[in-house]
Structure 1
């Protein structure tokens, strides 16, 4: 279940943290597993004025759904045609001279003026132009701007340690970014937005807001800084609740092995329940209960239990306990808001040795997304109860 009201509310919270800066809601990876188009509508209703995606296909899907808000996309391979992006009025990121040439090829093919955001590698060591190469890239981009081929409307970067606000790299990257902004302005770029802050920086470091912030995880109500506080500390509400119905319950004797490798053996006669979700659906195999260690938590009948034995491709098992009354069709909650003692995505992340980003994003297409929210949100997104994300 995806709560669109929660997404709308979370964006409002983030907008308040951003102050005068605009909010770009990052909806890449199917909106972190929450459903691209529906989540985009909810984010815009909450006050986002931009949308951000990694891949071109995501940007084009937003446009095909009738969303007209500014969209930035930033990840494309060498030689990939960018024509459709320009025709759809999608802003594109440029991280190298080669990428700039790709954009100019698309300009010539379409006759459209490109809107470009130059990405600078301020220290993350991922995509982005190195500062030493930035002057040459800006010279080429501004020359193309003078010819009407493109507009350099943004300059941006990404932080390596935003979830550790006091880490020295945060201040160092901010300094490099500020220098890059000054260089772009001196070169004659027509900057509309300067953006550096992700969700963690938006919540913990307001001085880094510049003109635009780019929250991702927090849009969906999860804390990007769990070591500093959960969603409730920041006024966020998790939007995703993952649950499934038991497909089978049965009584087994003491000493009965459970799932592959018999990593879990029943300590007494008990009732086992089979949950029809597995790693093919995005349930991490690391959620397994192995060697006497309980697996990831679940809630059944108001009780906190755990995955028993190995997670399989399509299913996992829960030891419901001796004399348990649950039957096929009863609900098992994997994670939700944490209300009434139910596990959260952060609980699952801790159990699996990962981060909550991965827990929600990895859910596959076999898991139907059902939406709830205000009627106007459901109508705008074209979804209702039972709709797939």
Structure 2
């Protein structure tokens, strides 16, 4: 069910579903000949898996992608149809449940093929599987030396009616680094491994390797399907390949909080743990009720940017578990006024990339780590334009606008 948000909240992560749909449409234009998989793993990179999956499907995504089978089963339980794929399996996983939920399941080695075929026998129906090739990422996937055995076993299982091999796929290591030699090497390896599989009887529906940077900048990698992740949420995979604006994308999440306290402070006052910041003179301090328990990176202590009262401020001292302080320089906003940590950036607020630079990390981590006690508030310009009075739909642990 849907609840109404109170006018004043401690903090909120506002999720613009209209922006997400526009991003999906923009990304589809970069790969017009390929099917589109909307990757919603890790709670849609912190944005809310179910609302974002629905919005992506509305914008034309034909596949939904998750990491874990539990995520994929939750997508199905929410009533989302179409093709859903998951790829991060461990021994003893819910193979039969996945088969019965009509999921596409990645298989990277013989142990997984053995488990999925056993589950298919129990279920009395074939499993849809996709064989993953390790073309050079050195992570999950089957290495070229082991590929012939896996392909032969998968073809035999298909002949027995236990599986249908629906796809062949892989993942890039350095597609976000323009010109990196591993890109061409992986692409060559993928083509060779796909050719081998097809020569030995595999007839895949889809072949795919393109992630967000591949979708945006490497058309030769698009094959039959592309799998944008972070770009779907309006964040560039890396500053080196371009800004969101360069690709017609808009950040979907806006993180803000209500100031919990504003107070006058004398010069020489140590601020927060360790007194790594000392007020240089008489000033005002503002308390932002978000901390590393909410996903605000402690590594951004002393550097994280915040917009308060139309001015950029910086975290003063250490980020604590539940709160941090900003030096307001004598300005006097009042408790309850808004502090914007990041958003699209077109109203002067910092972006997730700004926080990534401040914390020495990547923007993926900034949005993904925002914790569960920060409510996701879903807005949609189609029917809720510029609705900032708190009367939006709130995620209450799974509920959101249908």
Q: Structure 2-normalised TM-score?
A: 0.92
The answer as to 2:293 corresponding to 1:280 is yes
Helix, strand or coil: the match of 1:341? Answer: coil
The answer as to 2:56 corresponding to 1:48 is no
Distance in 1 (alpha carbons) for counterparts of 2:233 and 2:22: 10
Helix, strand or coil: the match of 2:138? Answer: coil
**Equivalent in the alignment of 1:380:** none
**Equivalent in the alignment of 2:321:** 313
Distance in 2 (alpha carbons) for counterparts of 1:126 and 1:63: 27
- Extract unaligned runs of 5+ from structure 2: 1-13, 385-390
Question: Structure 2 vs 1, CA of residues 140 and 43 (structure 1 numbering), >3 Å: closer, same or farther?
Answer: same
- Extract unaligned runs of 5+ from structure 1: 290-294, 378-382
Q: Measure how far apart 1:69 and its partner are.
A: 1.5
Q: How many residues align?
A: 379
Contact 2:262 2:332 survives alignment (8 Å)? no
Helix, strand or coil: the match of 2:210? Answer: coil
Q: Structure 1-normalised TM-score?
A: 0.95
> How is 1:95-114 mapped onto 2 (pairs within 5 angstroms)?
95-114=108-127
Distance in 1 (alpha carbons) for counterparts of 2:321 and 2:45: 22
**Equivalent in the alignment of 1:386:** 394
For the aligned residue pairs, the C-alpha RMSD in angstroms reads 1.5
Match of 1:301 among 298, 309, 329: 309
The answer as to 2:273 corresponding to 1:266 is no
Contact 2:273 2:318 survives alignment (8 Å)? yes
**Equivalent in the alignment of 2:5:** none
Contact 1:131 1:180 survives alignment (8 Å)? yes
Match of 1:329 among 310, 315, 336: 336
Contact 1:165 1:201 survives alignment (8 Å)? no
**Equivalent in the alignment of 1:344:** 351
Distance in 1 (alpha carbons) for counterparts of 2:126 and 2:50: 26
Contact 1:6 1:239 survives alignment (8 Å)? yes
Match of 2:375 among 352, 355, 368: 368
Instruction: Give CA deviations for 1:243-273 in whole Å, capped at 9, x if unaligned.
Output: 0000111111000000000000001111111
Runs of 4+ aligned structure 1 residues displaced above 6 Å come to none
Distance in 2 (alpha carbons) for counterparts of 1:189 and 1:233: 39
**Equivalent in the alignment of 1:126:** 139
**Equivalent in the alignment of 1:14:** 27
Contact 1:151 1:189 survives alignment (8 Å)? no
Question: Structure 2 vs 1, CA of residues 36 and 300 (structure 1 numbering), >3 Å: closer, same or farther?
Answer: same
